Amino acid sequence: MERQTLTNGEAMPKISNALAGITFAGSIAPVIASAHPADALSFVRRRHESGHIDWWAVEDGSNFRADFAMGESMGREYLDFIGRHPTYGHCLLLGHVVAGMAHTIDERGRLGASATGFLRVVNEHAMASATILSMPELSNVTAALGMGV
Protein backbone atom coordinates (compact mmCIF):
# COMPACT_ATOMS: atom_id res chain seq x y z
CA MET A 1 0.00 0.00 0.00
CA GLU A 2 1.54 3.29 -1.06
CA ARG A 3 1.46 6.19 1.40
CA GLN A 4 1.09 9.85 0.65
CA THR A 5 2.23 12.54 3.07
CA LEU A 6 -0.23 15.20 4.12
CA THR A 7 0.79 18.81 4.72
CA ASN A 8 0.86 18.20 8.49
CA GLY A 9 3.44 15.42 7.99
CA GLU A 10 1.09 12.49 8.73
CA ALA A 11 1.05 9.51 6.40
CA MET A 12 -2.23 8.44 4.86
CA PRO A 13 -2.83 5.46 2.57
CA LYS A 14 -3.12 6.30 -1.11
CA ILE A 15 -5.31 3.56 -2.51
CA SER A 16 -6.14 2.82 -6.09
CA ASN A 17 -6.96 -0.27 -8.08
CA ALA A 18 -5.37 0.29 -11.47
CA LEU A 19 -6.87 -2.87 -12.97
CA ALA A 20 -10.41 -1.82 -12.17
CA GLY A 21 -9.73 1.89 -12.73
CA ILE A 22 -11.14 2.86 -9.32
CA THR A 23 -9.94 4.78 -6.30
CA PHE A 24 -11.25 4.79 -2.73
CA ALA A 25 -13.95 7.43 -2.32
CA GLY A 26 -14.00 7.47 1.48
CA SER A 27 -11.38 8.35 4.04
CA ILE A 28 -9.15 6.55 6.51
CA ALA A 29 -7.76 8.25 9.59
CA PRO A 30 -3.99 8.87 9.39
CA VAL A 31 -1.69 6.25 10.94
CA ILE A 32 -0.52 7.06 14.47
CA ALA A 33 2.83 5.65 15.58
CA SER A 34 2.58 3.75 18.88
CA ALA A 35 3.53 0.49 20.53
CA HIS A 36 0.09 -1.10 20.05
CA PRO A 37 0.32 -3.75 17.29
CA ALA A 38 -3.14 -2.98 15.89
CA ASP A 39 -2.01 0.57 15.09
CA ALA A 40 -0.11 -0.98 12.17
CA LEU A 41 -3.44 -1.52 10.39
CA SER A 42 -4.66 1.38 8.24
CA PHE A 43 -8.24 1.06 9.46
CA VAL A 44 -7.54 0.97 13.24
CA ARG A 45 -6.82 4.12 15.27
CA ARG A 46 -6.11 5.01 18.88
CA ARG A 47 -8.10 8.08 19.97
CA HIS A 48 -5.74 10.81 21.17
CA GLU A 49 -8.02 12.21 23.84
CA SER A 50 -9.03 8.95 25.53
CA GLY A 51 -6.50 6.37 24.36
CA HIS A 52 -9.39 4.08 23.40
CA ILE A 53 -9.17 2.17 20.14
CA ASP A 54 -11.42 2.81 17.16
CA TRP A 55 -11.33 -0.62 15.52
CA TRP A 56 -12.98 0.59 12.28
CA ALA A 57 -11.79 4.15 11.58
CA VAL A 58 -13.20 4.23 8.05
CA GLU A 59 -15.80 6.54 6.57
CA ASP A 60 -17.23 5.51 3.21
CA GLY A 61 -17.59 8.03 0.41
CA SER A 62 -20.33 8.07 -2.20
CA ASN A 63 -18.86 5.52 -4.64
CA PHE A 64 -20.00 2.04 -3.52
CA ARG A 65 -17.74 0.19 -5.95
CA ALA A 66 -14.61 2.10 -4.89
CA ASP A 67 -15.43 1.79 -1.19
CA PHE A 68 -16.12 -1.95 -1.55
CA ALA A 69 -12.76 -2.41 -3.33
CA MET A 70 -11.04 -0.47 -0.55
CA GLY A 71 -12.68 -2.75 2.02
CA GLU A 72 -11.35 -5.76 0.12
CA SER A 73 -7.87 -4.23 0.25
CA MET A 74 -8.20 -3.70 4.00
CA GLY A 75 -9.38 -7.32 4.37
CA ARG A 76 -6.21 -8.51 2.66
CA GLU A 77 -4.19 -6.18 4.90
CA TYR A 78 -5.88 -7.70 7.98
CA LEU A 79 -5.19 -11.27 6.80
CA ASP A 80 -1.56 -10.42 6.10
CA PHE A 81 -1.25 -8.86 9.58
CA ILE A 82 -2.69 -11.83 11.49
CA GLY A 83 -0.67 -14.22 9.31
CA ARG A 84 2.54 -12.41 10.20
CA HIS A 85 1.58 -11.95 13.86
CA PRO A 86 -0.47 -15.04 14.96
CA THR A 87 -0.86 -14.19 18.65
CA TYR A 88 -3.63 -15.02 21.10
CA GLY A 89 -4.62 -11.36 21.23
CA HIS A 90 -4.90 -11.17 17.47
CA CYS A 91 -7.26 -14.14 17.37
CA LEU A 92 -9.71 -11.77 19.11
CA LEU A 93 -9.02 -8.88 16.71
CA LEU A 94 -11.71 -9.72 14.14
CA GLY A 95 -14.45 -9.49 16.76
CA HIS A 96 -13.29 -6.00 17.73
CA VAL A 97 -13.15 -4.93 14.09
CA VAL A 98 -16.64 -6.26 13.35
CA ALA A 99 -18.04 -4.55 16.46
CA GLY A 100 -16.40 -1.33 15.27
CA MET A 101 -18.13 -1.69 11.92
CA ALA A 102 -21.51 -1.23 13.63
CA HIS A 103 -21.32 2.54 13.08
CA THR A 104 -21.52 1.94 9.31
CA ILE A 105 -24.97 0.37 9.51
CA ASP A 106 -27.43 2.54 7.62
CA GLU A 107 -31.09 3.22 8.35
CA ARG A 108 -32.03 0.05 6.42
CA GLY A 109 -29.73 -2.09 8.59
CA ARG A 110 -27.00 -2.63 5.98
CA LEU A 111 -23.24 -2.36 6.54
CA GLY A 112 -21.21 0.21 4.65
CA ALA A 113 -19.51 -0.77 1.39
CA SER A 114 -15.96 -0.88 2.80
CA ALA A 115 -17.06 -3.07 5.73
CA THR A 116 -18.86 -5.40 3.32
CA GLY A 117 -15.79 -5.67 1.08
CA PHE A 118 -13.57 -6.37 4.10
CA LEU A 119 -15.86 -9.15 5.33
CA ARG A 120 -16.13 -10.68 1.84
CA VAL A 121 -12.35 -11.18 1.69
CA VAL A 122 -12.12 -12.53 5.25
CA ASN A 123 -15.03 -14.92 4.65
CA GLU A 124 -13.52 -16.11 1.36
CA HIS A 125 -10.34 -17.10 3.21
CA ALA A 126 -12.31 -18.68 6.07
CA MET A 127 -14.20 -20.82 3.54
CA ALA A 128 -10.95 -21.90 1.86
CA SER A 129 -9.41 -22.83 5.22
CA ALA A 130 -12.54 -24.71 6.29
CA THR A 131 -12.56 -26.64 3.01
CA ILE A 132 -8.95 -27.71 3.49
CA LEU A 133 -9.48 -28.62 7.16
CA SER A 134 -12.54 -30.73 6.30
CA MET A 135 -10.66 -32.94 3.83
CA PRO A 136 -10.82 -36.59 5.02
CA GLU A 137 -7.10 -37.14 4.42
CA LEU A 138 -6.36 -34.33 6.88
CA SER A 139 -8.66 -35.57 9.64
CA ASN A 140 -5.85 -37.44 11.45
CA VAL A 141 -3.53 -34.43 11.20
CA THR A 142 -6.09 -31.90 12.41
CA ALA A 143 -7.17 -34.19 15.26
CA ALA A 144 -3.55 -34.58 16.37
CA LEU A 145 -3.14 -30.80 16.36
CA GLY A 146 -6.40 -30.27 18.27
CA MET A 147 -7.96 -28.52 15.29
CA GLY A 148 -10.91 -30.83 14.70
CA VAL A 149 -13.83 -29.21 12.91
112-148 pLDDT, tens per residue?
Answer: 999 999 999 999 999 998 888 788 776 666 666 666 5
What's 29-84 look like in SS3? CCCCCCCCHHHHCCCCEECCCCCCEECCCEECCCCHHHHHHHHHHHHHHHHHHHHH
In a domain, residue 35? The reply is: yes
What residues contact 81, with CB distance under 8 A and at least 6 apart? 40, 41, 90
In a domain, residue 93? The reply is: yes
One-letter amino acid at 33 equals: A
In a domain, residue 149? The reply is: no
88-104 pLDDT, tens per residue?
Answer: 777 889 999 999 999 88
Tallying the residues shown for the chain, one arrives at 149
In a domain, residue 52? The reply is: yes
Number of domains in the chain: 1
Does residue 8 or residue 90 have the better pLDDT? 90
In a domain, residue 58? The reply is: yes
- Selection from 70, 71, 77 nearest residue 24 by Cα: 70
- Structural domain range at position 67: 2-144
